[in-house]
Amino acid sequence: MAISVSNRETASGQMTLIQAVSLGGSVVATRCIGTGGYVRHGENGWVVSMGDVEEWRFTLHSILYAAAERQWVATAALCCAQERFTDRAGTQVVRALAQELCPVKGSLHGRAQQGPMERGEQQEPAR
């Protein structure tokens, strides 16, 4: 799958890129703002310079005739997508960030995990 983006000023095409990587196919993308966060050249896809037709041609030709490498990189792309680009992975990142920003001691998050005695609450006698 070839994803050509010609925007030098802002990030664009990331959702298309994530979807392409998630399909587990071979991905060739334009080197532009944001691409580096998703594709690592030769590891989980290929990245080519914006507007460089010869580099595009060379890269596409190279991977077309290198079936083993193409399959290896496509498999790595799928694994990367499953580890980094799923709802579960996003939730883990947000959870880790929340724990970093709101340490357990004294935070609402920490209080919710404590029992009534640890929070200093009086327990009702059993009836």
CA-CA-CA-CA torsion sign (106, 110, 111, 116): negative
Is 124 part of any domain? no
Q: Which two tokens stand for residue 62?
A: 């190279």
- Domain with 68, as residue range(s), is 2-85
User: Is residue 47 in a domain?
Assistant: yes
Does residue 60 lie within any of the structural domains? yes
Q: pTM for the whole thing?
A: 0.59
In a domain, 97, yes or no: no
Tokens, residue 20: 């392409």
For the chain, the farthest-separated pair of C-alpha atoms sits apart, in whole angstroms, at 82
pLDDT of residue 55: 92
In a domain, 6, yes or no: yes
- The predicted-structure confidence for 8-40, as pLDDT tens digits, reads as follows 565 556 777 778 778 877 888 888 777 777 788
pLDDT digits (tens, 9 = 90+) for 55-114: 989 999 988 898 888 888 888 888 888 887 778 877 888 888 888 888 776 555 555 555
Q: What pLDDT score was predicted for residue 1?
A: 57
Strand partners for 49: 31
Does 98 map to a domain? Answer: no
Q: Is residue 43 part of a domain?
A: yes
Q: Is residue 101 part of a domain?
A: no
Confidence of residue 54 (pLDDT cuts 50, 70, 90): very high
Q: What is the CA 83 to chain-centroid distance, rounded?
A: 7
Element (H, E) at 18: helix 14-22
